[in-house]
Structure formats: C-alpha cells, structure tokens
Amino acid sequence: MKRIKEHPILGKEEKRKKIKIVVNGKNIYAYKGETIAAALIANGYRDFRYTHRFNLPRGFFCGIGQCTDCSMIVNGVPNIRTCVTRVEEGMIIETQYGYGDKDGKNERS
C-alpha cells in the first residue's frame, strides 16, 4: 500500500482504525475517515469507471466532486463520486461501465 505514514491533521497511520471494504469482489483494507478514492489509490486501483461512448478508463481527477471521472457503483448505487464519499465498513464498490445502472445492469459499452 502507498500511503502517507504521518499526517499533521489525520495523525499517524497505525492509530487509525482499519476497516474492510469489497472492491470488484476482492477484500481490501481502508482507514476509517478516508475517502473511497484514497483507499483505492492506496491499494493500487487507478481505473474507477469506463466511459459510455468510447469505453475509456477514468480515475481520480479533480478530487473535489466536481467532475465525474471517479464515479463508481457503491452499495448498488451508480454514479457515486468516490473522491468525496467516505469509506464505511463492509462497503461494496464496483467499477462502473457507461452510465452504471441501465436496465438494472452494469453493462460494458
């Protein structure tokens, strides 16, 4: 994992509570209070969604919830901006393809 070990606001890494989340069926660990995007990047994930028109990968970009590049399906809900959504224990996160939940499916374009 690539993480900042000590932060002036967040504190030391070892003092923060580890929680488990599920990303595309795989268990990974995150720290309580961090965003989904931060947890994904720390665990080596770079592609969060694929565009509808050209099926191109998108990932972390603006970091403030203004673009849609980091949108993923979170607990079955599509188009969640992961850069501003905090992780929760047991959260289920999936790569989003196209618009996410068209006719109940997460279809590749």
| CATH number of the domain enclosing 47 | 3.10.20.440
Give the tens place of pLDDT for each residue, 67-85: 999 999 999 999 999 999 9
Within a domain: residue 78?
yes
pLDDT of residue 14: 64
Residues paired with 94 in a beta bridge: 73
The per-residue pLDDT for 109 is 44
For the chain, residues with pLDDT lower than 50 are 104, 109
Count of domains for the chain = 1
pLDDT at 100: 84
Q: Which domain holds residue 37?
A: 6-94
What is the reported pLDDT for 10?
63
Residue 48 lies in a domain: yes
Q: Is residue 103 part of a domain?
A: no
> Does 38 map to a domain?
yes
- pTM score, two decimals? 0.83
Does the residue 11 lie in any domain? yes
Residue 43 lies in a domain: yes
Q: State the pLDDT at residue 1.
A: 54
3-state secondary structure 60-72: CCCCCCCCCCCEE
CA 16, CA 68: separation in Å to the nearest integer? 29
